[in-house]
Amino acid sequence: MTKNLGPAAARRTFDEEVVLDAAAHVFRKHGFGGATVREVAQAAGMLPGSLHYRYPSKEALLLDLMERALNRVLALGRSAVESARDPAERLRLGLRAHIEALLSGDDDFYVLLYDWRSLEGAAMLGMLRLRARYEAFWDDLLQDAARAGWVRPGIDLELVRQFGFGAMNWVAQWRQETDPRTPADIADAFWSYLAFGLLAEDKRRGFGQTTRKRKGGRR
């Protein structure tokens, strides 16, 4: 299967992948707190000592894992989006990429989503910095769309990003393997709801089209 990739270093990275895959699987199943290094080792096909040789602590595993996850979504998002110039289309493609990543079966993303609270101190800060890059990726997409006049006025783009993140990430929670909707179906439906809204044409009058009764001023 995996032919000889060259000398030692290559196998080392390969091994690391295997270990992180195992960790992702176990952490996803039990949560970081509930998982044991022994089970990770077993899932990786090695003894606990061998795992310890590669990773000195459980937390180190979590860190590398979440970093890998973040790099992966970011890479997938960027590559998905680059094929289109149109800002709205780029948003749609980004949405697709994110949801397809989540539903690809890669356990990494679940750990990224659900074990955030297990990070501490510097580890947390590092992750936040990395996460900020992904958020910036989306903010760019949104701002490009807004600048090109695609977005109706009065919309808080940061709120939209969070709104979208929530909707997308939640898919990992509810979507079953047996669901007839493909990831792309779901993404496109989400895009359509988000872009056009739910209301029927004849019901769109009579409501403030931006938030009603604003409280604080814009920041």
Partner DNA sequence: AGACTTCTTGGTCAAATGACCAAGAACCTC
Partner DNA sequence: GAGGTTCTTGGTCATTTGACCAAGAAGTCT
Residues that bind DNA (CB under 7 A): 7-8, 11-12, 15, 35-38, 46-50, 52-54, 56-59
Stretch that binds a copy of itself, among 4-12, 15-23, 45-53, 164-172 (CB under 8 A): 164-172
Contacted by 77, from DNA, a copy of itself, none: CB < 5 to 8 Å by type: none
122 to 141, contacts with a copy of itself by CB under 8 A? none
DSSP tag of 26: H
Task: Report how far apart, in Å, the C-alpha atoms of 146 and of each of 7, 83, 166, 198 are.
Answer: 50, 19, 21, 21
Least Å from the CB of residue 15 to DNA: 7
Stretch that binds a copy of itself, among 41-49, 61-69, 122-130, 189-197 (CB under 8 A): 189-197
Cα 52 to Cα 119: distance, rounded to the nearest angstrom: 20
Long-range contacts of 121-129, Cβ-Cβ distance < 8 Å, separation of 24 or more: 123/59, 123/62, 123/63, 126/63, 126/67, 127/63, 127/66, 127/67, 127/70
159 binds a copy of itself (CB under 8 A): yes
Instruction: Annotate each residue in 46-85 with x if it binds a copy of itself (CB under 8 A) or - if it does not, as one string.
Output: ----------------------------------------
> Which CB atom, from 18 or from 155, has the smaller least distance to a copy of itself?
155
Question: Which candidate, 3, 138, 117, places its Cα nearest to that of 66?
Answer: 117
6 binds a copy of itself (CB under 8 A): no
Instruction: Please enumerate in sequence order all residues whose Cβ is within 8 A of that of 160, keeping only pairs 6 or more positions apart, or say none.
Output: 142
Least Å from the CB of residue 12 to a copy of itself: 30
> Which CB atom, from 47 or from 189, has the smaller least distance to DNA?
47
Question: Which candidate, 132, 7, 137, 118, places its Cα nearest to that of 65?
Answer: 118
